[in-house]
Structure 1
Amino acid sequence: MRSVEWHDGVLRLIDQRRLPHEMVILECETPEAVAEAIRTMAVRGAPAIGAAAAFGMALAALRSPASDRAALLRDLEAAARLLKASRPTAVNLFWAVDRMLRRAADEGLEDPQAVREALVAEAIRIAEEDVETNRRMGQYGATLIRDGDTILHHCNTGALATVDYGTALGVIRTAHEQGKRIHVLVDETRPRLQGARLTAWELLQLGIPFTVIADGAAGYFMRKGKVNIVLVGADRIAANGDVANKVGTYTLAVLAREHGIPFYVVAPTSTIDPNTPNGDAIPIEERDEREVLEIEGVPIAPRGARAANPAFDVTPARYITGIITEKGILYPPFDLHIRRALGLEQEDLRDVVALRGL
């Protein structure tokens, strides 16, 4: 199944907290349940969070007792606040919720039932668009992968982090499907081990060769000449090209620059936030210190130890070789090409990036 799936008025999610040891399907019937699934990382990955939030808004519409349009819109505004509060960094969440609110506010929807039906259809549309977007990014990104390459990958950006197929892992998947002989170095991605638990699990399903490495070992492999390219996802991209992604991404970008290794971010344009001028303006989620001090409830630090647990860090645009989107590969100057990516038709943007040697 897809990681985010709508079934007869119920949102079904793969509970990613339980992988790789067991496959458990979480069913959400209210926006509160969706918000809790996002907050607790039962569903994670910026595109998957966005799609789940869209279905959360659809559930809010279906569960609202409102008998008139104005009351329903008030209930939807309340659901939007709830969902937006579940995780602060991933901009796809805000993008999807705001898109659902705009659809609900369409004056052509004259009664509550019309609004409800429109929101379900819009959420399904957002999910389907995500799959198509990922496949396009895979095609663009795979042009950068050579036969025999070793790719360093951080966190999880595959089908589990999206509705289906994946962003950075989708690029790897496309290259593999094209017959390229590749190998993936999978950062374990402390503290929640999304690389060791989730990316490794996905690569096993796909039959793509990989090796799990400790986060701190990335520099060793780069210095040994065993990394050809680094691919990561993103939770928010600022207007100047700064990128917020799973903590540890900044370290990889600096190491890649030191060793002359291309560093690419793979993310849909819905992850770009034109209202955030730079990385300093991106809110960084601070999570429970127990995620650092424990592994699956087992303490790994002495009693009384304290921990800091930022979920993300910010990679300045100067360390990024390019940003792979569904509209093409964006290169510096990022501020210019981000504006064009958000404002031009796909065909026009393809001409823009073609001029930069794509």
Structure 2
Amino acid sequence: MQFTEKIKKQLDNIRQFKLQEDRAILLSCIGIALVFWILVKLSQEYTSQKQVSFTYLAPEDLALTNIPPDDVYATLKGTGWNLMFEYLANSTIPVHFNIGEVGEFNLNRAQLRAELLAALASKELDITEINYDEINLRAEEKSTKRVPLRFRLRLEFAPEHHLSAPLRIDPDSVTLTGAYSVLNNFTSWPTDTLEFLDLTNTVTLAIPVQKPPPEIQLSARETELTIPVESYTEKSFFVPVTLKNPPSDSLKVFPDKIKVSFAVGLSQYDSVHYTDFQLMADLKATSLEKGKNTVPVEITAQPKAVKNVVLSRKSVEFFILKPEENKTDKPQ
């Protein structure tokens, strides 16, 4: 019985060995076939697009008015081997040129094709198509220009909070360096767009300056912005009404003072007085007749620190008083 089991065990081992050997032979055959398939495929001709990258050399006192385009592509034709070696050598086709003292660099389609062929790592490749007909670059005398920063901000304050002072910016301007004709188009330079909501406290942070095009260099890539915020409270005064263009006759105004209510920051609360306001009633366009008349009141002066100014009334009434004529004779 034991002898029979040993025989069966040996037979099982032989079958497993045979199966493993068959699998190894099969995998070897597949591998060899794959290698031959790759060799055959790489020996065939293909076309493929490859990006062109430009580098240039220009005198220190010159700046380009336009930079080489970054979307130039050449269609390459050749065997798979040559295309593979080309892509392994460089990720792009490098083209270098010298602007020189002339200040111009021009390539037509034929010249551009010749430059690209010379820059290829594999000389057995051909270029069948280029998506640009010509490359024209021009340089001018390098110039600098100082322009103010233009902030693109959205500010929203929490209830009863406002700016306590103007925004503080450091630096508040940047220097642009580039060709004169390019810089002449700019009168300011924007920052990135930022949004601040529900502000309750003063905020200081660095704000990135918008990235320039390659033909322009900036003196700063960010600026520091301070947003001074404080709580506002309500205050009010009775302010006298000043008459403008009054008639020669005696005139009485009612009321002669109007209540002015406004919001003011806590830091400026004690510095605001009623004399900082001026209320004006202009009688020039008003019909002066006997009896009761009304004239509108305007705010002609107010402190910069106050907001939401409200008058308790928008007009005043005036009465024209004329002296009564004596109906009796003077005593002898």
TM-score (norm. length: structure 2): 0.18
* Bigger strand share: 2
* Bigger helix share: 1
TM-score (norm. length: structure 1): 0.17
Higher RCO (CA-CA < 8 Å; seq separation 6+): 1
